Structure 1
């Protein structure tokens, strides 16, 4: 048995606090206070700067759920308040309960009161939050294995074995908005920026001050007003600096400012989630324009404000933001002459690509390397577990963190399906820790979860799992999730795989498709003509065309010097792309065939009739005293060229020039089967650090010859994306643009799928392949 290939996997190591979604109770008329209570509790947890609070009624809102999927949290927790918090929000709750039980006076009453204050309150609003959190947890595939959930609730009491308190990590005092002041949406719109703390204060804050502070974010002097005695260097509890963290972004473009309008729970939840993905976000729950709008439209004239809402229609959103613009307090020129510096967009159309990542500032982007074996399907399996490591600034006895490993040349999209069993080796203890794909790589909880004996060493207490980096084919199969979905190479995919093996890599195959060599290879097609070739230098056989060196060198479209062309032909011959040989005939039957050099000798056997022949002058063509060498194209390469196989190759080559896909995993053509029946053939698949993309590539500009055919093809492509983990769809063409009829068919299918409640992939259009490629997103 041959040994599997061995390699070293270069990694980038980082440590970060866990990302958390806290689902807050939401009883009738009290969602603001509950959201504030949940945010106050979250503000005490390390990692609150990268986490969100979502009222339970907003969890299933499509715009909110879409953002939470992109956020890809480590934990979804239901906020379970104590009786003390319930009594603080609804004064007299504990006294009424004691009165119902006949316990009103004496030491027993006080003892019961103090005991009850520490107990979890389990009212109907909490049960609804737990149900919403459980649904969301299943939808997002957070740290869960079978029926075991690593962390499910956020109580008012700390649990050091699950989450680390912010105070345990922070080196500077942390301050926030006193919770008792957060009773209106105006106050909550500011408190979501800086965090909330449990403290008493007699400070009176007006609605105008809350609004000014919300539009100015943490730059507002309101925090100083709330804490006049704060120690110098104090940090807002929800700032990254308070938790010794920094935000890291893979995006090259600057972050766009976003404003969320509306005063409903889903608007607050949308603003919370967008803060973690898009960066600077302002929530504007009040409707009337005012002086605070001067901060909303401040900044450079080139800055466009993106305005959206989860509760309002785009028309209502447009009307409200235009009213603010028209009545803004600071104007440079007349309103009718100044370009409006905002764009209104439905939340479903907001680009959520390249979200920020909150990491421990002294422990990110650290180089590491692991020995790995290469599996037959291209997956990489680490041979050794990662040694226990404690990032600087953290204590393994006091702190819990997420270990994050990313490989530049083997990204993993953060798919729900890529759970622990997919990204760990088969002999890994499944209960050691919680492992999953996230942030373009693999993340796992820092400490062992199974059994840690008392007094264990550092290596014995920290997790060190053996990891697997699945290949793109494995990712596709796992993303399909169900047993009735099959993924097999298509005939075109097999041809591309053979050619890739001959050339050595997918990148080399893509480079061939974009090089002058591809038109030269087209001269070997059966339908090519002999224009410009000297007599006897070109022969059209039954299977293909063969060319001599004279014919190859007469092809002037390559742009190569003669010496470069000679080197290229020799390279292709050594790789097996071209085969050097002769054109002998048969003395027993009238057949003229190409025989590669390796198949010919002085006595050769006819492939058609099996007759033996002597290699003599009367056998070879053209007639000459000595035979002339000819070249034919490998049959798989010939079919690849014949079937416009360069179009998907040009598509994936261009995609990998984009900074977000430079090290993407690429899969050649494949077929999706359901219950053994072919559904659709996809021309390529691309896995990046952020998503899985499927592609259709055409040399023309249409998906079909008739409206019905175009609609049917669009339906199959979108259904294929839905079957493979709701992947995105790229439609690529060599033409400068897709035909209007094709775009109409795509939009019609989108509308139909939405009406039927079916998922719609994010669709991008790639045009001008081979000339001037352009990638744009199809707006819905």
Structure 2
């Protein structure tokens, strides 16, 4: 078996705290207190600034699930309170329990009391939170290796072996909202921004103060009132600076500020998740307009709010925000004349592209280079294990962190199907650490998870796995196999693959489709006419059309001078795209055929009858004193050109020119087989750092000749996206726009899938390929 070629993969290295989703118990009308208890516990963990708390009743909400999937957490944890916490939420519980057991007030009774307060409380609400966390963990396919879960619970007592306490990393005084004060939704709305600490305060905070603080978020001066003795350089518990971290994103444009209305658990959960993904989010759980709205609308006119809710209907949401706008305390001109600077959207329509990633500020975007072998399908396997390394500012004995490696020219979408076996090398110990695709690359737990002997060295205690970066074909196969679907190259895909191999890369193939060379290649099609070619320079044979240099030079291509054209023909001939040869006849039968240069010598054998011939004047065409060179097109390239193979090539070339898809992995046409039967054919697949997209490209403007055919094709394309975990579908055409009937069929299919609760991919329309391409999101898609 031939050895695979070795190359060096340039990487970007980042260290970061684990990203957690903490599922809090939900106890009916007391959900705020229980959520505050979970947030108070999370506020003590390093990485709380990039983590979220979700009440267990909100985990299944579609908008919340969508956001948590995009958050792509490292751990899903069920919050397990201690008896001390339960007693604080339900005063007197411990005393009643001791009285029921007739435990006296003796020293032994006090000892039992202290022991009980440290024990986990495992009521039915906690069990429900554990079930919800386990279901979410399975849906996101994270934090587990087969049936072994790395970290599943967050107890009130620290477990530094799993999650590092925030105080172990922080270098300044940390403050938050005193836990005893977080008893209302308004207080929780502010505590969401800064965190909760175990402290007491004498004074009461008014409802107006909470609302002002919640509306202003981290800008609120309330903390100085809650902590009058804190030093000037204090940090809030949930600030990124407290954990020596910074948030980074690939977003190209500034974020829009998002406002969440509603006072239900799912509204809080939605605000929590969106805050970590998009940054600027405000939760307003109260319905009444008031003075605090001055902070909501006192922005520049160019700033437009996105307003949504997980519990309210679109109409209810609109009424509430319009009431706030009409009654706002500060306005510049009359309300009827001023444009309303907000848009009401459904929570599932909020753009979640380019989420934030919280990283250690002194240990990110560090360059690395790793020798890898290139597999036939484009996958990369590391030749060496990664070196164990401790980021500056961290201690391997006291701290635990995540390592993330991204390759600019080999992105990985964070698909649930890309588990440890897909992103680790074949000879890697599967139990060394937890590895998965995340954040556009690969992330893994800093410390070894398998057996570590006492007193192990630094290299012996830290993980140093050998990783693998699957190619786009491998990504599709793994994603589809999880749904019992088979992925095979289509005939068109095989032709494109052969041509790509001849030219050397997908980029070169795309460049050919966009070059003046593609129309020239169309002159080799069997149904073309000479179109002004000089006599004897164009021949239509039984097997193919062949052209001489004179015919190629006569091809009209403004701006493509003969010198450049000559160089291109020579390059294609050296690559095998074109074959140089002679038109020769046979002295034994009437066949006239093209013979490539490699098959020609002074004597040659007829392909039809096998007769031997000599290379003499009466054998070659046209009749001249010396034979004339002709060129024919490689059969695979000929069929690619004949079947409008330039359309999907132009589509992927344009898409890879977009900032979000630079360096994307691209796959040529393939088929999806369900139960062995061909289900749908896709013209291309595109894998970016965030998502997997599938595409259909056509030279015309319709998916079918009649309504039934169009609906059937739209259904198959969207279902194909679902089967391989693709986030979106791109429909590309060479026409200036898609037909109205096709757009109608797409919208009808989207509405139908939404009506029965099926997954609906994002749908984008790419038009004007080869002329003036435009990409737009399908309205309602």
In the superposition, the TM-score normalised over structure 2's length comes to 0.99
- For 2:660, the equivalent position in structure 1 comes to 660
CA contact (8 A) 1:520 1:558 kept: no
Cα shift readout 1:539-596 (whole Å, capped 9, x = no counterpart): 1122322111111011122521111111111111111111111111222222221111
Distance in structure 2 (CA, Å) of the matches to 1:443 and 1:62: 27
Match of 2:82 in 1: 82
Q: SS in structure 2 opposite 1:556? A: coil
Matches of 1:528 and 1:89, distance apart in 2: 83
Counterpart residue number, 1:392: 392
Partner residue of 2:27?
A: 27
Query: 5 Å matches for 1:134-533?
Result: 134-482=134-482, 484-533=484-533
State the shift of 1:109 in Å.
2.1
Tell me if structure 2 keeps the 8 A contact 1:256–1:279.
Answer: no
Shift of 1:748: 1.1
Following the alignment from structure 1 to structure 2, what is the Cα–Cα distance between the partners of residues 408 and 367? 11
Given that 1:40 and 1:179 are in contact with CA atoms closer than 8 Å, whether structure 2 keeps it comes out as: yes
For residues 591 and 323 of structure 1, what CA distance do their matches in structure 2 show? 86
Report the alpha carbon displacement of residue 455 of structure 1 after superposing the two structures with TM. 1.2
Deviations 1:165-215 (A, max 9, x none): 000000011100011111111111111001111111112111111111111
Aligned partners of 1:728 and 1:763 also within 8 Å: yes
CA contact (8 A) 2:417 2:482 kept: no
Deviations 1:315-350 (A, max 9, x none): 111111111111111111111211111111101111
Structure 1 CA distance for aligned equivalents of residues 717 and 407 of structure 2: 30
Deviation at 1:609, TM superposition (A): 2.2
- Work out the CA distance in 1 between the residues paired with 2:390 and 2:700: 56
- Comparing 119-128 with 596-605, greater Cα deviation is found at 596-605
The count of corresponding residues between Structure 1 and Structure 2 is: 780
Contact 1:19 1:51 survives alignment (8 Å): yes
- Measure, in 2, the Cα distance between the counterparts of 1:142 and 1:551: 61
CA distance in 2 between partners of 1:207 and 1:707 (Å): 58
Return 121-130 or 626-635, whichever deviates more: 626-635
Secondary structure, aligned partner of 1:510: helix
Q: Deviation digits for residues 232-291 of structure 1, max 9, x if unmatched?
A: 200010000000000001011001110011110000000000001111000011101111
**In the aligned structure 1, how far is the partner of 2:732 from the partner of 2:701?**
9
Higher mean Cα deviation, 206-215 or 79-88?
206-215
- The match for 2:732 is 732
Q: Distance in 2 between matches of 1:532 and 1:362?
A: 67
**Worse-matched range after superposition: 64-73 or 560-569:** 560-569
- How far apart, CA to CA, are the structure 1 residues paired with 2:775 and 2:262? 33
> Separation in 1 of the partners of 2:95 and 2:608?
100
Task: Give how far 1:397 is off.
Answer: 0.4
Q: Which aligned pairs between 1:745-764 and structure 2 lie closer than 5 A?
A: 745-764=745-764
| Counterpart in the other structure of 2:6 | 6
TM-score (normalizing by structure 1)? 0.99
Structure 1 partner of 2:710: 710
**In the TM superposition, what is the alpha-carbon distance from 1:659 to its structure 2 partner?**
1.4
1:611-622 to structure 2, matched below 5 A, reads 611-622=611-622
Give the CA deviation at 1:96. Answer: 1.4
On the 8 A contact 2:694/2:726 being kept in 1, the answer is no
Give the 4+ runs in structure 1 shifted more than 3 A: 481-484
8 Å Cα contact 2:483-2:723 kept in structure 1: no
**Residues 373-416 of structure 1: per-residue CA shift (max 9 Å, x gap):** 11222211111101110000000000000011111111111011
Segment drifting more, 196-205 vs 76-85:
196-205
Deviates more, 1:478-487 or 1:127-136: 478-487
The answer (yes or no) to whether the contact 1:81–1:156 under 8 Å persists in 2 is yes
What secondary structure sits across from 1:246 in the alignment?
strand
Moved more, 501-510 or 654-663: 654-663
**Contact 1:698-1:734 within 8 A present in 2 as well:** yes
Give the secondary-structure state (helix, strand or coil) at the position aligned to 2:557.
helix
1:69-104, CA deviations, whole angstroms, 9 ceiling, x for partnerless residues? 000000000000000000001101111111221224
Superposed CA offset, 1:296-323 (max 9, x none): 1122111111111111111111111111
SS in 1 for 2:348: helix
Kindly indicate whether the alpha-carbon contact (under 8 Å) linking 2:78 and 2:130 is maintained by their aligned counterparts in 1: yes
Q: Which moved more, 1:149-158 or 1:729-738?
A: 729-738
Give 1:483 shift: 7.3
Contact 1:603/1:612 (8 A) holds in 2:
yes
Give the secondary structure class of the aligned counterpart of 1:84: helix
> SS in structure 1 opposite 2:224?
helix
Distance 1:536 1:726, change over 3 A: closer
TM-aligned CA deviation for residue 726 of structure 1: 4.1
Distance 1:613 1:752 in 2: 68
Aligned to 1:405, the other structure's residue is in SS state strand
Q: Distance in 1 between matches of 2:558 and 2:98?
A: 92
Deviations 1:578-622 (A, max 9, x none): 111111122222222111111122221222222222222122111
Any stretches of 5+ residues in structure 1 without a counterpart?
none
Offset, 1:763: 1.4
Residues 164 and 400, structure 1, Cα contact 8 Å, conserved in 2: yes
Counterpart mapping for 1:624-703 below 5 A: 624-703=624-703
Deviation at 1:755, TM superposition (A): 2.3
- In structure 1, C-alpha distance between the alignment counterparts of 2:765 and 2:264, rounded to whole Å: 35
Uncovered stretches (5+) of structure 2, i.e. residues with no partner: none
1:666-690: CA deviation from partner (whole Å, max 9, x where unpaired): 1000011112110001100111100
1:153 Cα offset (Å): 0.2
- Partner secondary structure for residue 770 of structure 1: coil
**2:720 maps to 1:720:** yes
